[in-house]
Amino acid sequence: LTVEMVASGSWREEKFKPYNLDALGAPLNCGHLHPLLRLRAEFRQIFLEMGFTEMPTNNYIENSFWNFDALFQPQQHPARDAHDTFFISNPQISSHFPPEYLQKVKQVHSKGGYGSQGYGCDWKIEEAQKNLLRTHTTAVSARMLYLLAKEGFKPSKYFSIDRVFRNETLDATHLAEFHQVEGVIADYSLTLGDLIGTLYEFFNKLGITKLQFKPAYNPYTEPSMEVFCYHAGLGKWIEVGNSGIFRPEMLLPMGLPEDVNVIAWGLSLERPTMIKYGLNNIRDLVGAKIDL
């Protein structure tokens, strides 16, 4: 069909095949988001719909104080060894910790307090000043909760989705870094039921409706739960994250009110992306072309 045929009316004598309105358009040769970033946008949308505010996570380098001590993770904990953590000797960022808060953290680790017996350890500030590549975004959550206490508590919901670094053995599903997705809710008298209900709401938005919870341990949450879901596509139960209620030994030294509880959960970005795109090796996710 040409302009001349339309103008002369000669198209009337021609036979045309019917439009195939189901035909795909011509492939667009243009850029597209990396699968990880597509899923990051999906998770961000879910959190925003649920009324969460994104935390500022643009500091890969953290100090041990916020990554471990503020979370009541003992200075002798194996996770603080170099075989799990990337310690940084340079730049040696001079860390200024709020003196009053630092004393409370030292106290709760060494002698206890707030109803806790503490670890009875000799807490050293030199250990807290060691710089590292953050091992979890929970270090950022600790900073945000401290600010919340300092600026006057009000019920708040925060989330973060960003890179974390673990000095671990690499294999087909583990690299030395991954993206952690974390949700945190601080409010009066929150319970484990609120955490479970929030996890159902969050995972329902991912199309996951069947969840199971298994008791777990984290130094900074009590109780803690591993979260599992039945994945119909894989035909099995899979671990989809970890969660818990932050301990008083973490929250009360910050100055948060005694009747405030903080529930939180975390998962990764890489695992759901690999499942969604049917990838078995995490190296196919970073640094290789995928047909979307």
Ligand X SMILES: COC[C@@H]1[C@H](c2ccc(C#Cc3ccccc3)cc2)[C@@H]2CN(C(=O)Nc3ccc(OC4CC4)cc3)C[C@@H](O)[C@@H](O)CN12
Kindly state the smallest distance separating residue 165's Cβ from ligand X, in Å: 11
Question: For residue 18, is the peptide bond before it cis, meaning its omega torsion is within 30 degrees of 0?
Answer: no
Site string for ligand X, 197-236 (x = CB under 6 A): ---------x-x---------x--x---------x-----
Applying CB under 6 A, the site for ligand X has a residue count of: 24
Among 102-110, 153-161, 254-262, 263-271, the segment contacting ligand X (CB under 6 A) = 263-271
Stretch that binds ligand X, among 21-29, 77-85, 108-116, 271-279 (CB under 6 A): 271-279
Residue (180 or 198) nearer to ligand X, CB: 180
**Radius of gyration for the alpha carbons in the chain, expressed in angstroms and rounded:** 25
- Closest separation in Å from C-beta 118 to ligand X: 21
Determine, following the binding rule CB under 6 A, whether residue 251 of this chain makes contact with ligand X.
no
Q: What sign results for the dihedral spanned by CA atoms 181, 187, 191, 196?
A: negative
Which of 106/133 has CB closer to ligand X? 133
Please select the residue that binds ligand X; options are 73, 128, 272, 279, rule is CB under 6 A.
Answer: 272
Cβ neighbours, 10 Å, residue 146: 19
Query: Pick from 86, 110, 271, 284: which binds ligand X (CB under 6 A)?
Result: 271
Between CA 197 and CA 202 the distance in angstroms is 9
Task: Give the span between the Cα atoms of 272 and 251, in whole angstroms.
Answer: 31
Sheet containing 177-188: order of strands: 53-54, 156-165, 177-188, 260-268, 236-246, 221-231, 211-218
Examine residue 261 and tell whether it contacts ligand X (CB under 6 A): no
Q: Which is nearer to ligand X, 106 or 245 (CB)?
A: 245
Supply 225's token pair. 């739960």
Rule CB under 6 A: is residue 268 a binding residue for ligand X?
yes
Determine the residue with CB nearest ligand X.
266
Looking at 35, 118, 248, 266, which residue binds ligand X (CB under 6 A)? 266
Listed residue (75, 93, 71, 190) closest to 142, CA to CA: 71
Rounded CA gap, 265 and 85, in Å? 21
Q: Is residue 73 close enough to count as binding ligand X by CB under 6 A?
A: no
- Quick one: which H or E segment has residue 238? strand 236-246
Sequence length of the chain is: 292
Task: Considering the complex, state which of residue 60 and residue 107 has its C-beta at the smaller distance from ligand X.
Answer: 60
**Calpha distance 249→267 (Å, rounded):** 24
Q: Does 35 bind ligand X (CB under 6 A)?
A: no
Find out whether 182 and 31 touch, Cβ atoms under 8 Å: no
Residue from 86, 238, 255, 284 in contact with ligand X (CB under 6 A): 238
Q: Containing H/E element for 194? A: helix 192-204
* Nearest to ligand X of 35, 241 (CB atom): 241
Residues in contact with ligand X by the rule CB under 6 A: 138, 166, 180, 182, 206, 208, 218, 221, 231, 238-244, 264-268, 271-272, 275
